[in-house]
Amino acid sequence: MVKQSQQVDSPASDTVGVRDTGPYSTRNLAKGACITDAVSVFAALRSGLTIEQVRDGAYSGKLLSQRGRASRERVWASLNQRYFVHGVAWVIAALSDAFTKGQQSPEFVSLLYLHYAVRDRLTFDLVTQVLWDKGYASRPVIQRTDVLDLLDQAASARMAFDYLRANAKRVGLDRDLVAYDFNIQVISPTHGKDTADLGVAVYIAILSAIVNKPIAASLVVMGQMSIHGVLSRVEQLGDRLRVVMDAGARLVLIPTVNAADLGAIPPELLDKVRVDFYNDPAQAAFKAMEEA
pLDDT band at 45 (very low <50, low <70, confident <90, very high): very high
Same domain? 231 vs 158: yes
Same domain? 184 vs 107: no
Three-state DSSP at 160 gives: helix
Looking at residue 179, the DSSP 8-state letter turns out to be G
Give the span between the Cα atoms of 74 and 76, in whole angstroms. Answer: 5
Q: By mean pLDDT, which of 4-18, 125-139, 176-190, 217-231 is the weakest? A: 4-18
Total tally of structural domains belonging to the chain: 2
3-state helix, strand, coil in the chain (%, to 5): 55, 5, 40
> How much is the pLDDT for 189?
59
Same domain? 112 vs 177: no
**Per-residue pLDDT reduced to its tens digit, 182-211:** 877 776 655 545 556 788 999 999 999 999
**Residue 148: which domain range?**
144-290
> How much is the pLDDT for 196?
61
> How much is the pLDDT for 275?
93
**Per-residue pLDDT reduced to its tens digit, 30-43:** 566 789 999 999 99
291, 216 in Cβ contact below 8 A?
yes
Same domain? 68 vs 164: no
- Asked whether the predicted pLDDT for residue 2 surpasses 60, the reply is no
* 85 within domain boundaries: yes
Same domain? 268 vs 166: yes
Alpha helices in 167-280 (DSSP H): 199-211, 237-246, 267-272
211, 168 in Cβ contact below 8 A?
no
> How much is the pLDDT for 139?
67
* 58 within domain boundaries: yes
Give every CB contact of residue 181 below 8 A, 6+ residues apart in sequence.
2, 3, 4, 5, 16
The residue from 134, 161, 184 where one domain ends is 134
Q: By mean pLDDT, which of 95-99, 122-126, 212-216 is the weakest? A: 122-126
- Which among 178, 177, 182 is positioned nearest to 154, based on CA atoms? 182
Provide the 10 A C-beta neighbour count for residue 134.
12
* 171 within domain boundaries: yes
**Within 13 Å of residue 235, how many CA atoms lie on the same side as its CB?**
4
**Per-residue pLDDT reduced to its tens digit, 54-87:** 999 999 999 998 899 999 999 999 999 899 988 8
Same domain? 18 vs 85: yes
Give the span between the Cα atoms of 119 and 86, in whole angstroms. Answer: 9
> How much is the pLDDT for 150?
79
> How much is the pLDDT for 188?
63
258, 237 in Cβ contact below 8 A?
yes
CATH number for the domain spanning 243: value is 3.30.230.10
* 249 within domain boundaries: yes
**Per-residue pLDDT reduced to its tens digit, 243-290:** 889 888 999 999 999 999 988 888 888 888 999 999 999 999 999 998
Same domain? 88 vs 60: yes
* 1 within domain boundaries: no
> How much is the pLDDT for 266?
87
219, 288 in Cβ contact below 8 A?
yes
* 2 within domain boundaries: no
Average pLDDT value for residue range 122-150: 77
> How much is the pLDDT for 181?
79
Same domain? 109 vs 212: no
Same domain? 157 vs 114: no
Average pLDDT value for residue range 104-122: 90
Average pLDDT value for residue range 23-29: 70
> How much is the pLDDT for 263?
87
57, 41 in Cβ contact below 8 A?
no
Same domain? 127 vs 168: no
Give the span between the Cα atoms of 68 and 239, in whole angstroms. Answer: 57
The residue from 86, 113, 134 where one domain ends is 134
The residue from 85, 116, 134 where one domain ends is 134
Q: By mean pLDDT, which of 162-171, 187-196, 223-232 is the weakest? A: 187-196
Q: Answer positive or negative: Cα dihedral of 283, 286, 291, 292.
A: positive
Q: What b-and-e string marks burial along 54-71, b requiring 16 or more CB atoms within 10 Å of the CB?
A: bbebbeeeebbeeeeeee
> How much is the pLDDT for 56?
96
> How much is the pLDDT for 123?
84
